[in-house]
Amino acid sequence: MGKQVKTPRFYVDMPTFLHATGQLGWNDSNGGAELLYMNCSNPYTKQVDEEGTEEVARIGSSSNNTTKTSFPVNFCALLNHNLASNTNAFKFYGKHGLTPTTTDVKFNPVNEILNSYHTTDEINPTYNGTTIFDFTSDDEYWRSFSIYYGTSNFIDVGTQQLGSLVVGKYFDCPNSPDLNLTMSRRFDGIKSQKTIGGKTLSNIYYDGPTEWTMNGPNGTYKYPPFELDTTGTDFDQRVKSGLGRKGLRSWKLSFSYIAETDMWIENEVSNNVIADNVEPDVTKPSPMLSDNSFNFVWNCTLGGTLPFIFQPDNSEDGRNPDQFAICTFRENTFSVQQQAHNVYKVSMTIDELA
């Protein structure tokens, strides 16, 4: 697998954005806000030992009407899970509605992006670790999203875990970045100093992204982010702490000749009423959240404050575990220049989080 940047993809976490801007209804039982913000190293755990349909994890409220806007979703990422250890497949549901009556939606995966082997409506990952899949975009007043085991048989007894439940909308860049891009590795977690005697002492605070904790069939252990772990007992195939990729990645990118529709949100307003003489577009209750542009990514990560999943190459060649990273935009690096009428150049630096 190559490491070059082709056509990047940004996976934007919509519930985390709404929670950060005041919609605290995303905090609930079975994980709730603990599953937001992509803090995956110490996962939420639940003992699964019941018969029938079992909810493993949920973000949002299953009963209260706390939704203040609609928003589209087209992907789900399950970070740091051990769902493959259970022999039953699981299903991904959403619940939406503005009244006390809600509607359940079962999302049917369309494309397997990473470790998401599926049938029509069930996901059965081969490995523990990370699962990412997309589905047909759906714009609703979402109240909650849940992971269920659905079976009429006894569910395997055991501790299920999930580090983060990421649901939202991805943005594919309209073209590849300019050729003068820079990719670098940062080792800012290692500090060195010289002693009076002339020797060099180094303190290693961290040498890469924070490792994740896995409660797997081989016990409890740490492993590098996004790596896939076997459910068997073969030690050679088990993920190994401390032996993953070293350093934190950074990408300094620029994109030239970007059309206005790919650069800016058409209407940066919270509803669809934009002028007295313009009929409101009822299909877009929240124009800023339903947009598909660089501006949408910048807006819904609060200028790089909130993390997103970055995939440098959105093709099938870029679906190896080491092609994904939890990132933010480096402060004050996102800039836009107009190159011609309605044509722009956008520049940014993307940093992988420690």
177-204: pLDDT as tens digits: 999 999 999 998 888 888 888 889 888 8
pTM: 0.92
pLDDT attached to residue 154: 46
Strand-pair category, 9-13 with 190-194: unpaired
Mean pLDDT confidence for 334-341:
95
> For residues 333 and 340, what is the distance between their CA atoms, to the nearest angstrom?
22
pLDDT on residue 239: 80
pLDDT at 53: 63
Q: Which residues does residue 119 pair with via DSSP β-bridges, in sequence order?
A: none
- What is the model's pLDDT at position 65? 59
Contact 8, 311 (CB under 8 A): yes
What's the confidence (pLDDT) of residue 241? 80
Mean pLDDT, range 281-308, rounded to an integer: 89
The Cα 214–Cα 47 span in angstroms is: 15
Average predicted confidence (pLDDT) for the chain: 87
Distance of alpha carbon 223 from alpha carbon 240, whole angstroms? 6
Q: How confident is the model at residue 234 (pLDDT cuts 50, 70, 90)?
A: low
CA angle 226, 232, 238 (to 5 degrees): 45
pLDDT of residue 297: 97
pLDDT at 13: 97
The neighbouring-strand residues paired with 335 are 347
Residue 82 contacts residue 214 (beta carbons within 8 Å): yes
Radius of gyration (C-alpha) of the chain in whole angstroms:
21
Share of the chain above pLDDT 70, in %: 89
